[in-house]
Amino acid sequence: MFTRRLPRAVLWDLDGTLVDSEPYWMKSEIELAKRHGADWTEEDGKSLVGMALKDSTRLMGERFGVELDSDAVINELTDSVTAQLRHEIPWRPGAQELLRELRRRGVKTALVTMSLRRMALQVVEAIPFEAFDVVVAGDDVIHGKPHAEPYLKAAQLLGVDPRDCVAFEDSISGILSAEAAGTKAVGIPNVVRIPANPDRILWETLEGKRLKDLKQLFR
């Protein structure tokens, strides 16, 4: 009898998937724009969701009409977001519950984010159990999302085939990265729409999702 198998690993995006931090980024971007005398809206911020920070900074500089120091801006924005996270970490519905079940069942997990490692670890350390085997952050890769490298690196570090992994993403750039790596990529739209196509898996939420739902992806 055919038995649905467990994923070898589950790979998680951070911003917008594990935590609802995209509004923190947008607020920080608006404040940065004001300091440069430029206009920046939440809609502008949505266009950057899921993108590598260096690419985001380049696009912001083009929009502001100034040459930005990429590393300085990335650190400035990260400082702003981490300060907001120290005040409150807004967890996405169902995320911690599913993570806890995965850990209890011995399924490997990785956090795969374009945020800096120091911000990723701030969130990881706030989880009241050991949630991740591996963290791959934006400063750990050469090519950011939508390139496949972040998810390929996470699978390599875990010692698993990406085709045996589930990846959760809330952005277009993110899901393209996870799909390019060959994972069972699951889009969970949050502040931006993820276009549907016949081969794409989209869920409305992680709330109520359990390991049995992930096993069904490998039918």
CA distance 43 to 46: 5
Query: With contact defined as beta carbons under 8 Å apart, do 187 and 200 qualify?
Result: yes
CA distance 159 to 111: 15
50 & 126 share domain: no
- What confidence score (pLDDT) does residue 219 get? 79
**Amino acid identity of 97?**
E
| Same domain assignment for residues 101 and 160 | yes
CB 181 within 8 A of CB 151: yes
Query: Does a structural domain hold residue 104?
Result: yes
Domain count, the chain: 2
Residues 138 and 56 in one domain: no
Domain CATH for 54:
1.10.150
Q: Are 60 and 87 in contact (CB under 8 A)?
A: no
Q: Residue 139: what pLDDT? A: 95
177 phi and psi angles, rounded to 5 deg: -65, -50
> Where does residue 43 rank: exposed (0-12), middle (13-18), buried (19+ CB within 10 A)?
exposed
User: Are 75 and 106 contained in the same domain?
Assistant: no
pLDDT in tens, the chain (219 residues): 345 688 999 999 999 999 999 999 999 999 999 998 998 988 899 999 988 999 999 999 998 988 889 999 999 999 999 999 999 999 999 999 999 999 999 999 999 999 999 999 999 999 999 999 999 999 999 999 999 999 999 999 999 999 999 999 999 999 999 999 999 999 999 999 999 999 999 999 999 999 999 999 997
Q: Both 74 and 137 in a single domain?
A: no
What's residue 34's pLDDT?
92
Note the pTM of the prediction, 2 decimals: 0.93
Range of the domain at 44: 22-87
Domain holding 192: CATH number?
Answer: 3.40.50.1000
- Is 1 within the bounds of a domain? no
Cβ proximity of 197 and 203 under 8 Å: no
Look at residue 39 and tell me if it is in a domain.
Answer: yes
State phi, psi for 126 to the nearest 5 degrees: -85, -10
pLDDT recorded at residue 2: 46
Q: Given 3-state DSSP classes, what are the helix, strand and coil percentages for the chain, each rounded to the nearest 5?
A: 45, 10, 40
Distances (CA, A) of 28 to 25, 35, 36, 57, 157: 5, 11, 13, 12, 32
State whether 71 and 133 are in the same domain.
no
Same-domain pairing of 83 and 100: no
Give the distance from CA 183 to its chain's centroid: 14
Residue 67 confidence (pLDDT): 86
Structure tokens given for 191: 């502040």
